[in-house]
Amino acid sequence: MDDPDHPQPTFQLVKKVQGNIWLARRLAQHLGYADGEEFVARKVNDFDEYYDAGKYAAGFTTKRQREVKGLMDLLYDCNIGRNIAHIFNHENIISLAGYLRQKPFHSQVDATEDYLVWDICDAGTLELLFADRTFEKEPGCHMPESLCWHVLTSIMRALVWLHDGCRQEIDWVTGQGHWEHEDLDWMPILHRGINGKTIFFQHPRGDETYGVCKLGKFGTAYVSGAPARRNRKTNDDRKPFPNSDGRAVAPFDDEHMSLPEMKKQWREYIMKGDLVSSSLLA
């Protein structure tokens, strides 16, 4: 019988992979989920340096300590963790499945360890497919067209979610798909690092030809300050966010740029694209 005062954890650590990375498994008592489904768990140690430096120190001497302090303020004072968990909840993005808290081995009485639990992509990356040397032995071999479309449509769905906050929903009765707008005030998120190393695959879970394709590695992602365009009519009376011109803009690399500078950069990019298109058609 379940004890409401002592709820059972959702996940269990199974095997250490390397460093702070573990293989985790969903426990069977959670209804609606597959028993024993596997995930990747990462120990949250981002704040260790902050505590080691002394929580009540007069100041923080290194850039890293200041960054960690800023992250803690965002997570705990601004409660941004809930928003982050909501963003990383999409079938074509390596999603945050939950968290696990447990006592470390031979720990102090009040000591705990926290782990973030993520989707596991056990079929490698697109880069590994490109690195397959089979074509040298079979010059006529190529990637199946169906796989190319699978990757393209999966990444496009992920980008529509990141850029516009729109999710494709399926009516399981009629089989028809439609787009649901999540938030009129959605701030576009630019990945800025899409390549073979950041596109992951899961093994098929049933009779499907290919497993789920997911976009990952958001270390260079940028949240744009310009809201996405919302000119479409909505089912309610919500009005579009002011200045929502729909341009998802971001600076190059990590350099600082103002919003007008990023918009100018975008216009120059569009003009170059138009010139290239014109030259190809000429």
**From CA 266, how far away is CA 6, in angstroms rounded?**
53
**From CA 235, how far away is CA 222, in angstroms rounded?**
30
- Final residue belonging to a domain, choices 81, 100, 120: 120
Residues 207 and 180 in one domain: yes
In order along its 282 residues, the chain shows pLDDT tens digits of 444 444 556 888 889 998 889 999 988 665 556 667 899 998 887 666 666 655 555 555 677 777 777 777 777 777 777 788 888 899 999 998 888 877 766 555 555 778 889 999 999 999 988 776 565 666 667 788 999 999 999 999 999 999 888 888 888 888 888 888 877 678 888 898 999 999 999 999 888 899 999 999 998 888 876 655 555 555 555 555 555 555 667 776 666 777 777 777 777 777 766 555 555 455
Residues 246 and 134 in one domain: yes
Residues 68 and 107 in one domain: yes
Q: Residue 142 to residues 123, 133, 153: CA-CA distances in angstroms?
A: 19, 11, 19
Residue 282, domain member (yes or no): no
- Final residue belonging to a domain, choices 99, 120, 141: 120
Q: Which domain holds residue 59?
A: 1-120
Residues 113 and 130 in one domain: no
Residues 218 and 270 in one domain: yes
Residues 47 and 186 in one domain: no
Residues 72 and 209 in one domain: no
- Final residue belonging to a domain, choices 72, 98, 120: 120
* Residue 57, domain CATH: 3.30.200.20
Q: Residue 273 to residues 141, 192, 268, 277: CA-CA distances in angstroms?
A: 33, 18, 9, 6
Residues 157 and 41 in one domain: no
> Structural domain tally of the chain?
2
